[in-house]
Amino acid sequence: MKKTVSFILRISITLGLLIFLFARTDTRQLLTVVKQADGRYLAAAFFLFFLLNVLVFLRWLILLRGRRVKVNPLRLFLSYLVSLFFNLIFPSTIGGDTVRTLDIAKHTGTPSSSILATVVLDRVSGFFGLVTVLVFSLFFGYKVFNDPSILWATGLLLLLVLLFSAVMFSGRCFGLCVKWLPSGSRVRAYLQKIHQETKAYRGRQSALWSAWFLSCLTHVGLAFVYAWVARALGLEIRLVYFLIFVPMISVFSSLPFSVGGLGLRDTASVFVFAKIGVAKESAFAMSLANFGFMLVLGILGILSYVLILYRRRV
């Protein structure tokens, strides 16, 4: 019952945000912006978006090999693509992460806690890369863009990532977080298994550093994706703004309050780009274009599942 209510609530939030945005946006102007888009820049942006997802897949592969989990790279990539589809229909990335965890655990015969630990580390390394890019962008672009709200948000993100990392790698911090759970509960026991798996990476720091580096590349690349979409829409915006804004948009879209980040991503895009004078219609169009890229990859993912994984061709 609680899951049903929660899902209905997230759908309501998603629809509410989209209705709010469309109500405050000139729909005709939005359609005009989209129709006049340069297809060459859009194609280049989508191709780069696909390559960035390949980097994310490689990051997960490195983390799995760090725990000596052997899996065919092609099989793993197809599982990752399938998870992209479920990210679009479930709240935030929780659905997709659950699907790829169970899929690879079953495929390799590895305990799900071990696979989930790599997925959790994959997400955390992604946020570390995001914060790294954001901090460097603010450092070099502080004179270009000086907004205290962005600085406070960056500091909060950095604090949250550090705290979460402490919980994963420190037994003392983990104990403080789970002490409110009954000592014999199944949930606590499962979380303990995940903690043991993540803590084991302290002896495999090369995998963690590699994951962090790929995360930095991914978030820099995502800024370029937005920049090329903006160019396709006829907008001339300095790259430093994308390096600052896009990580913030990514954080908002990952919050588990909407379905697939839809609505949250668009609202955040309109809000942050308004700070540099970008029209609501253009910012909204940028956000919808990037959602379209995710939708295409998600559809490719579910098709790969039906045509390849379901028929056990890999």
- For position 144, what pLDDT does the model report? 67
Q: Which residues lie across from 259 on neighbouring strands?
A: 91
pTM here is 0.85
Rounded Cα gap, residues 56 and 52, in angstroms: 6
10 Å CB burial of residue 52 (0-12, 13-18, 19+) is buried
- For position 46, what pLDDT does the model report? 96
- pLDDT tens sequence across 182-199: 776 777 777 777 777 777
Rounded Cα gap, residues 141 and 181, in angstroms: 45
- Where do the domains of the chain lie? 47-309
Helix (H, G, I), strand (E, B) or coil at 91: strand
- pLDDT tens sequence across 273-294: 988 889 888 999 999 899 889 8
